[in-house]
Amino acid sequence: MTKQQRLRNTAEGLMAGLVANGFRGPFRYSHLDWELPFYRAWARWAPPQRNPSTFPAFEIGGHGRTSQARELLWQLKRTSPFHEYNRELLPVAPRGLTPEEYLEIWVTDALPQEWIALAARFLAELKPDEA
């Protein structure tokens, strides 16, 4: 899996996980507001099969082998049901599926419950006063 594919897979997993957690969007946060909460959630998230060959490595400033969190969103291409994440509400039925079904079919390397847990942690970090 290439770096871009790992980022795209993670972006799809995060977005579907957000929908499963009730987040509707649009996702209109500045990088300054959402990246640090994402890094915190990512650091605590550890599905059993997580390894560098299947998941991206994130680092502030990103370089060659690592990525900045914002690169996730850049990977949501027109083929993604979440492509309009910052302009429209996130689809509650991506590709006509529940978020859990979408995760099971379209997102790899972690179980749907694990992606949903990552998104829940991210939301808690993003809005700690509401968690």
pLDDT band at 54; cut points 50, 70, 90: low
CB 122 within 8 A of CB 58: no
CB neighbour list of residue 8: distance below 8 Å, 6 or more residues apart: 75, 76, 77, 80
DSSP 56-75: --B-TT--TT-B-THHHHHT
Q: Does 33 score more than 80 pLDDT?
A: yes
How far apart are alpha carbons 18 and 90 in whole angstroms? 9
Q: How confident is the model at residue 129 (pLDDT cuts 50, 70, 90)?
A: low
CB–CB of 23/123 below 8 Å?
yes
Residue 131: pLDDT over 50: no
Cβ atoms of 103 and 112 closer than 8 Å = yes
